[in-house]
Amino acid sequence: MTVVHIPNSTILSSYARHFMTEQQEKEAKGGRGFGSDDSSKAAKSTVASVEDSSSVKAGQDITIPQLEDYCNDFTADIKNKLATLTLSHETYSEALENREVYLKHPPVFSHKLEIDAPITNQKNSGRCWIFAGLNMLRQHMMKEYNLDELELSEPFVFFYDKLEKSNWFLENILRTLDEDLDGRLVQLLLAGPVQDGGQWDMFVALVDKYGVVPKEAYPETVHTADSGQMDWLITTKLREYAKEIRTEHANGKSIDELRKMKDRMLREIHKVISVSLGQPPKTIDWSFYSKDKKFHEFRNVTPLEFYKNHVKQDCTKFVSLINDPRNEYMKKYTVDYLGNVYGAESVYYINISIQCLKEYAIRIIKSGRPIWLGCDVGKFVSPNHGMMDTKAIDYESAFDFGFGMTKAERLQYSDSTISHAMVLTGVHIEDGKPVRWRVENSWGESVGNKGYLTMTDRWFDEFVYQIVIEKSELSKEVLDVLGQEAVVLPPWDLMLGVFGK
C-alpha cells in the first residue's frame, strides 16, 4: 500500500485550522504549519509549562498522588463544574451544539434537485447503501412517470444480499482451507459473515442479477427493520458450517465433495431468510396514479424487466470515486476478499483529490441528477438541526482541547472511515465556490430537517470519502485509470471495506 506523506509546508485543511488559535493560524498561513521549527518550539514550550506545573513524576502506572494532582487541577477551574452540571444531564450534541453554525447555514440551496422524494427509513439496520442506491434510482422514475412518491423495495435487495453473502463467505472458507484458523485472515472472515453493510459495486451486483421491485410488492418485515436476530442466527450457522468444512477438508474430502456440503448449507440459509422475510416475488403487477390523476398499470413483470424497462438506469455504467489521502491519487484500488456475489465485477475505486471529487459532484447536481455518497456520518453532527460541520459540536469550550489529526492520519489511526451512505441532492454556491450541500438521508423524517441534512463544505473536505457518478462524466485522464491494474489493499482495510449505519 502506498502512503502519501504530506509535507510540513502543505496548506492546512479547514478541519485542522478549526482547532488552532488565531496566532497559530496566522503562522500556518505564513508557511509555518504543524511540524515547522517555530510551531514545534511553541508546542514544546506548552508541554514544558504543563509538566512544570505538576510535582508528580509520571511513570508506567497511575499513582495516588498523580490522581490527586489530576483532581486538584480539575477543581481549580470553576468552568469544569459548570460543564459537569450541564453534561451530566445532556448529550454532547445537545449541550454543545454550536448555534452560530446552523444559523449561518440555513437549509436553502442555490442548486437543488427538482423532485423531493419522500424520506425513507432503514430503521434498526445497516442497509444505508441499499437505501441510497434505490433512492438514487427512483429520481429518474418519478420524473418519467410523473409521480408524487415512489419507494423501491429495499427488503428485496436485502434478501438476496444475505443469501449471496452467505455463499461468498463459504467460498472464502474454501479458499482459505490451508490458512491458519487463528490467523488474522480467517478470523476476519469469521468476524462478520453477513453483516448488513455493503458498497456501491455490491449493490450493482445484486440489482444487475436479481432486478428491482416497488416497495409494495415486497414490504418490510420485523427482520428487515431490525436485522439483529436474523443476522445472529445466520452468522452462528455459517461459523458452524465453516468448522464442518475445515474439519472435512482435514479428513481428506475433495473440493467437489465440500461444495456439495455447501449446497446443503445454503439451502438451510435460504430457509432462514425466506421464513424471516418471505420469499421474493418472481413477477409483479405495478399499478399507480400519476400526479395528473391518470391510472397506469403494468402486469406480470419480472424484477429484472422492471429494472431494465422501468428503472431504466444501468448501474454498471457508474463508477466509485474516492478521496483517500493515505494512498496515491489517480490510481485504481480494490480490497482483497471484498464482495458479495461470486462471478460479479470486483469492487473498484478511483482515488482522486477532494477538489476534483467536488467538481464532479457540483456538475452532476447542476444537471439535476442525484449522487450516491459515502461519508463518516458520526463526526461533528448536530442531529436536532441536521447540521454536519467541523464546528457543529463545540468540544473545545467544554474540554479545552481540539483535534489535530489530518484526514489521512484519521484513516491511518482508525479514527475515521466510510460509515454511511446517503444521496446528495443539492449544493449552495457563493462567489463560485460551494458553501454547503443538501443530503437525503434514510433515517426517517424525525432526524434533521424532515429527513434531510445540511453538510458544510469544510465538513465535506474532511469526512466525505466517496461519490458514485456515470463513467461518461469522467475526463479522459480519470477514465483511463479504470484501465489500470488495481492496487489490492488488504481485507482489513477499514476505509474501503463494507459499511452501514
Catalytic one of 128, 172, 315, 385: 128
What are the residues facing 440 on neighbouring strands?
Answer: 423, 452
Residue with cell 489529526: 405
φ, ψ at 440 (rounded to 5°): -90, 120
Alpha helices in 53-115 (DSSP H): 64-75, 78-87, 92-95, 99-104
Catalytic residue among 98, 327, 340, 441: 441
Closest to 123 (Cα-Cα) out of 150, 155, 149: 155
Catalytic residue among 18, 105, 420, 428: 420
The 3-state secondary structure of 300-358 reads EECHHHHHHHHHCCCHHHEEEEECCCCCCCCEEEEECCCCCCCCCCCCCEEECCHHHHH
C-alpha 329/C-alpha 417 separation (Å) is: 18
Ordered DSSP codes for 145-181 = TT-S---B-HHHHHHHHHHHHHHHHHHHHHHTTTS-T
441 is catalytic: yes
- Classify residue 367 by its DSSP letter: T
23 membership: H or E segment, kind and range? helix 22-29
Cell 461519490, residue located? 467
- How far is the C-alpha of 33 from the C-alpha of 40, rounded, in Å? 9
Q: Kindly list the catalytic residues.
A: 128, 420, 441
